[in-house]
Structure 1
Amino acid sequence: MHQQILLLLGLLLAFPNVQAFETIQINPRVYALVGDLGQRSPQNLGHNMTSGFIVGNEAVAVIDSGASRAGAERIHAAIRKVSDKPIRWVVNTGGQDHRWLGNAYFREQGATVIASAAAAADMHERAAEQMVQAEQLIGDGFAGTEPAYPDQTFDQRFSIALKGIEAEVIFTGGGHTPGDSIVWLPEEKIAFTGDIVYVQRLLGVRDNGAAAWIASL
């Protein structure tokens, strides 16, 4: 597990100046979308993080839907270059804007959106604030974005029904935000850590607190 986490962190370091994101193949079924390390902008459509997607035998699971409708469309276009299978699941690894404000677009594609109960509560609490801030940063690229909350929530663990590859979403207490979760692929020993792991940035310790963040690791 540690080797694969270090690989994903290394990808972050390898692409410090991209304007949108780079699609990086981790293995034949797992891809990372490595975003800009700078602020959200019209160029990156708010994708200043690492997200990704998992290709199952019959469908695809998206890890984080982006910060805007246009950002979600860009993620979908990247997926289409790899697979034409339907998007069945979207996992929001946390309640920050760039993890979930693209949900509405993927729901229109037939996806079911899942997140921890704590992340869903965080979304409801901060949606209005996040919408205003994201629009200011992304500009015209934010047009058409509407908040869409998770269809299913969980307290500790959720297994994604994705044939051909085992994937589990695990909530261990949050990190940067109260609902941050990890997507763990046990057979591949790959983890998408969301906002629980930072590189080349000062940690943004919010209301969840440093002690809870450390405990979640």
Structure 2
Amino acid sequence: MWRFLTVILAAGAAQAHEDIADKYPGSMLYNKPVEVIPHVWSAIGATAPPTYENAGHNNNLSFIVTGDGVVVINGGAAYGLAKALHDEIKTITDQPVKLVFNENGQGHAMLGNSYWAEQGVPIVAHEEAAAEIAEYGGSILEGMKRYNGDQAEGTSVVGPTETFDEEYIVEMGDFRIEARYLGPAHSPGDIVIWLPEQSLVISGDMAFHERMLPIFEHTYTADWVETWETAFEPLGATYVIPGHGHPTNMDQVRRYTHDYLVYLRGKVGEHLEAGGDLADAYYVDQSPYAHLDTYEELATKNAGRVYEQMEFE
């Protein structure tokens, strides 16, 4: 019955490709939701950058059918994308959506809040993500409109209705759902959704595989590595639904998140010790990760940002 997850776990880091067409024509969703483990579903986004063709669905939109209501993880990149997810939920269960979590303050996590707020659903995010939405939401929305055109219709910036600092625990139906802020990671306010009884973590942008992770200006890689080692890895999750890419296991996301960060920091550190400058730092060897989607877009940028950080560590 759970052949889907078995295949994914066995396949490990099987490549995803940016040139694969929309897998679910007729819906704004890039993929039809799949049941990862009983009652936990995810619509897996493209591993490419956001485009009109994928409607900005380049992250994972997950939901939990608890028996007493549905909990959605990620608002989605647009009003219409959130509605498309809700339409799919309605084909699976008649339980109402009772709560939405934003995994961070990025557009693909929160621009669909405008739809969920219209439905009267409470929206929860970390307080740092709420601050990001308040400060940058307008420019994020304008960026989404540029690539999404008419598919941006109805979208406005709506922040969370509730925020938290360290954890937000929900007991609903058959599930204990723990939203946790584990520490600095990919972007401000990154949270994970931990299901302790199922040993499953919806990791958000704490964990990547299949596509290269992006290092933003505000991504402090030393802190991300520390958060991983002291808080994320100790969860001991059996199943991982990452922010991007198919459901997998801890070994795979460790390899392409923690180990990549450690590797890149090592290469840039060697470059610094040799007296190398920023211009050459962009081209430190990242070939072990060249098979990942978005490598061409991100590898040199990542190296440059790590150089700028480590120069002053």
TM-score by length of 1: 0.90
Hey, what does 1:171 align to over in structure 2?
A: 181
Unaligned runs of 5+ in 2: 23-29, 229-313
Contact 2:15 2:210 in 1 (8 A): no
Aligned CA RMSD, in angstroms, stands at: 2.2
Hey, what does 1:132 align to over in structure 2?
A: 142
Q: How do residues 36-75 of structure 1 correspond to structure 2 at under 5 angstroms?
A: 36-75=46-85
Hey, what does 1:145 align to over in structure 2?
A: 155
Q: How do residues 174-213 of structure 1 correspond to structure 2 at under 5 angstroms?
A: 174-206=184-216, 207-213=218-224
Hey, what does 1:24 align to over in structure 2?
A: 34
Hey, what does 1:214 align to over in structure 2?
A: 225
How many angstroms does 1:216 deviate by? 2.4
SS of match in other structure, 1:89: strand
SS of match in other structure, 1:167: strand
Deviations for 1:190-213, whole angstroms, at most 9, x for unmatched residues? 111111112233321220311222
Task: Tell me the distance in 2 between the aligned counterparts of 1:119 and 1:127.
Answer: 10
Relative to structure 1, the CA distance from residue 7 to residue 186 in structure 2 (aligned partners, 3 Å threshold; closer, same or farther) is farther
1:113 aligned to 96, 101, 123, which one? 123
- List 4+ stretches of structure 1 deviating above 6 A: 8-12
How many angstroms does 1:215 deviate by? 2.2
The higher radius of gyration belongs to 2
SS of match in other structure, 1:179: coil
Task: Tell me the distance in 2 between the aligned counterparts of 1:60 and 1:41.
Answer: 28
How many angstroms does 1:170 deviate by? 0.5
How many angstroms does 1:161 deviate by? 3.7
Unaligned runs of 5+ in 1: none
How many angstroms does 1:187 deviate by? 0.4
Deviations for 1:45-74, whole angstroms, at most 9, x for unmatched residues? 211011200011221000001000011011
Contact 2:132 2:188 in 1 (8 A): yes
Task: Tell me the distance in 2 between the aligned counterparts of 1:201 and 1:178.
Answer: 20
1:77 aligned to 84, 87, 94, which one? 87
Task: Count residues with an aligned counterpart.
Answer: 213
How many angstroms does 1:139 deviate by? 1.3
Task: Tell me the distance in 2 between the aligned counterparts of 1:8 and 1:115.
Answer: 29
Hey, what does 2:285 align to over in structure 1?
A: none
SS of match in other structure, 1:147: coil
Which is helix-richer, 1 or 2?
2
Task: Tell me the distance in 2 between the aligned counterparts of 1:109 and 1:9.
Answer: 39
TM-score by length of 2: 0.64
Contact 1:45 1:138 in 2 (8 A): yes
SS of match in other structure, 1:150: coil
Relative to structure 1, the CA distance from residue 91 to residue 9 in structure 2 (aligned partners, 3 Å threshold; closer, same or farther) is farther
Identity %: 29
Deviations for 1:124-155, whole angstroms, at most 9, x for unmatched residues? 12112201111111111001100110111110
Contact 1:64 1:100 in 2 (8 A): yes
Higher mean alpha-carbon deviation, 151-160 vs 173-182, is at 173-182
Contact 1:51 1:194 in 2 (8 A): no
SS of match in other structure, 1:42: coil
Task: Tell me the distance in 2 between the aligned counterparts of 1:105 and 1:9.
Answer: 37
SS of match in other structure, 2:88: helix
Hey, what does 2:103 align to over in structure 1?
A: 93
Task: Tell me the distance in 2 between the aligned counterparts of 1:42 and 1:74.
Answer: 15
Higher mean alpha-carbon deviation, 172-181 vs 96-105, is at 172-181
How many angstroms does 1:117 deviate by? 0.6
